[in-house]
Amino acid sequence: MLEWLLERDVNALLRLDAERAGVRPWTFHASGGFQGERWTVRADADSAEECLDRARVALRARGLELPE
């Protein structure tokens, strides 16, 4: 998914924050669009898989048709 986003000029990262000590430590953040139509997406979760699933839903809501 990250490579697909890169190909579409979307900045994205997946982060694990040890300081959150088990309280949804995984974060996905992405931003894209053109000037005047910029958007951001953030998803937090307890696991990397859940985080990416939530990110997919949020990205689709922004109109990105992600591959499966």
pLDDT at 30: 96
Gap between the terminal Cα atoms of the chain: 9
Length of the chain as a residue count: 68
Mean pLDDT by runs of 10 across the 68 residues of the chain is: 91 92 90 84 96 95 87
Tokens 């900045």 found at: 11
Question: 3-state secondary structure string, 3-65?
Answer: HHHHHCCCEEEEEECHHHCCCCCEEEEEEECCCCCCEEEEEEECCHHHHHHHHHHHHHHCCCC
pTM of the model: 0.86
